[in-house]
């Protein structure tokens, strides 16, 4: 990979070379490096583009990297990755996609990820999206995440999109069993004429299961954001969704909650807050010697931290 590819790889996966452990690095539709570990096996799908990742039961303190880099203007792809995680495993999965588009054609990556998590697992999934390049071609990403948790398991997702993506539609669906937990933390920033849609849907089917969905976003210039959160409590459960957004310039942010309780012991909460940066925050930082632009940037960095 040339320097631009390596720089993008570092942005989305915090690596500049092949990592330790299991990995598959994809560049412009092809695998440029793949490795299994003793307990994590990666297989290429035969019917569609994508991977099957198999994690043996009782796998602990291991990681798997599956980042994607696109540098060819006009390259579009749909990739299907399925994770099969054995009981009692504790692993970290680092994914993410970066597009460096210096041409005039749209480059797009649609990543469909499914997680089939066994019993009593702890899984952390980190997904970063990033765009760069001085061309006129748009950078488009449409990630879909499907989560199926067995009894006693926890999946924590950190998803970040801070820069360079012109259009994105982000869909996440989760189905929870007894005593399972899903925690999703989203950080998102749009500017210019960019558009971002986030769609969460969670079925709380198991006894004493729980879900926490938190989205923090900043919308600048003429960009638009839409946040959907749908939770259905079908058993004794707890669900909490939260959308906090800073709106600037001529941007638009819309939050649409939907919570349905089908059980007397289902406890579901939705919170939303959308507003501009408070004037007193700016004044306080400006009295410390910052310009207004510097103060705004510092507040945004703290909000998205």
From 165, 190, 220, the end of a domain falls on 165
- Residues 235 and 267 grouped into a single domain: yes
Cα angle: 236, vertex 159, 89; to 5 degrees: 60
pLDDT over threshold 90, residue 4? no
The mean predicted confidence, pLDDT, of the chain is 95
Q: Give the Å distances, CA to CA, from 268 to 201, 206, 242.
A: 13, 14, 11
3-state per-residue secondary structure call for the chain: CCHHHHHHHHHHHCCCCCCCCEEEEEECCEEEEEECCCCEEEEECCCCCEEEEEECCCCEEEEEECCEEECCCCCEEEEEEEEEECCCCEEEEECCEEEECCCCCCEEEEEEEEEEECCCCEEEEEEEEEEECCCCCCEEECCEEEEEECCCCEEEEEEEEEECCCEEEEEEEEEECCCCEEEEEEEEEECCCCEEEEEEEEEECCCCEEEEEEEEEEECCCCEEEEEEEEEECCCEEEEEEEEEEECCCCEEEEEEEEEECCCCEEEEEEEEEECCCHHHHHHHHCCCCCHHHHHHHHHHHHHC
Task: For residues 120-126, give the mean pLDDT.
Answer: 98
Global pTM exceeds 0.85: yes
Domain limits at 255?
Answer: 179-305
| pLDDT (tens digit per residue) in 204-260 | 999 999 999 999 999 999 999 999 999 999 999 999 999 999 999 999 999 999 999
- Residues 6 and 155 grouped into a single domain: yes
Given CA atoms 18, 20, 24, 26 in this order, what sign does their dihedral have?
A: negative
Count Cβ atoms below 10 Å from residue 201 Cβ, excluding itself.
16
From 165, 194, 215, the end of a domain falls on 165
Q: Which residues pair with 145 in a beta bridge?
A: 113, 172
pLDDT over threshold 70, residue 163? yes
Residue 244's nearest CA partner among 276, 216, 214, 281 is 216
- Residues 252 and 131 grouped into a single domain: no
> In the structure, what pLDDT confidence band is assigned to residue 1 with cuts at 50, 70 and 90?
low
- Residues 95 and 150 grouped into a single domain: yes
- Residues 193 and 118 grouped into a single domain: no
- Residues 11 and 140 grouped into a single domain: yes
pLDDT over threshold 90, residue 3? no
How far apart are alpha carbons 196 and 235 in whole angstroms?
32
Q: Is residue 172 part of a domain?
A: no
Give the residue, 305 or 36, on which the prediction is more confident: 36
Look at the chain and report how many structural domains it folds into.
2
- Residues 5 and 66 grouped into a single domain: yes
Residue 108's nearest CA partner among 166, 179, 175 is 166
From 165, 188, 213, the end of a domain falls on 165
> In the structure, what pLDDT confidence band is assigned to residue 135 with cuts at 50, 70 and 90?
confident
| pLDDT (tens digit per residue) in 285-304 | 888 899 989 999 899 989 98
> In the structure, what pLDDT confidence band is assigned to residue 2 with cuts at 50, 70 and 90?
confident
Contact 156, 183 (CB under 8 A): yes
| pLDDT (tens digit per residue) in 73-103 | 999 999 999 999 999 999 999 999 999 999 9
pLDDT of residue 281: 86
Contact 231, 263 (CB under 8 A): no
Identify the residue whose tokens are 């990630």. 143
């Amino acid at each position: 990979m040339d320097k631009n590819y390596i720089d993008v790889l570092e942005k989305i996966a915090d690596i500049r070379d092949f990592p330790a452990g299991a990995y598959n690095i994809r560049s412009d539709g092809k695998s440029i490096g793949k490795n299994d570990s003793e307990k994590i096996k990666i297989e290429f799908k035969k019917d569609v583009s994508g991977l099957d990742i198999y994690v043996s039961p009782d796998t602990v303190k291991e990681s798997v990297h599956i980042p994607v880099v696109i540098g060819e203007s006009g390259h579009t792809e749909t990739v299907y990755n399925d994770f099969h995680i054995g009981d009692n495993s504790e692993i970290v999965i680092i994914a993410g996609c970066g597009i460096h588009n210096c041409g005039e054609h749209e480059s797009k990556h649609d990543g469909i990820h499914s997680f089939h998590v066994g019993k009593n697992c702890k899984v952390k999934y980190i997904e970063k999206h990033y765009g760069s390049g001085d061309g006129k071609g748009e950078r488009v990403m449409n990630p879909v995440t499907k989560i199926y948790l067995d009894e006693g398991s926890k999946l924590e997702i950190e998803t970040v999109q801070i820069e360079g993506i012109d259009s994105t539609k982000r869909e996440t669906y989760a189905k929870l069993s007894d005593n399972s937990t899903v925690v999703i933390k989203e950080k998102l920033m749009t500017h210019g004429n960019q558009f971002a849609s986030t769609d969460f849907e969670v079925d709380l089917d198991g006894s004493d299961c729980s879900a926490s969905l938190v989205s923090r976003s900043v919308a600048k210039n003429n960009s638009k954001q839409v946040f959907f959160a749908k939770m259905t409590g079908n058993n004794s459960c707890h669900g909490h969704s939260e959308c906090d957004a800073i709106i600037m310039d001529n941007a638009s942010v819309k939050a649409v909650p939907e919570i349905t309780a089908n059980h007397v012991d289902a406890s579901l909460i939705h919170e939303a807050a959308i507003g501009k940066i408070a004037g007193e925050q700016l004044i306080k930082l400006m009295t410390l010697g910052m310009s207004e632009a510097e103060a705004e940037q510092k507040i945004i960095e703290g909000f998205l931290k």
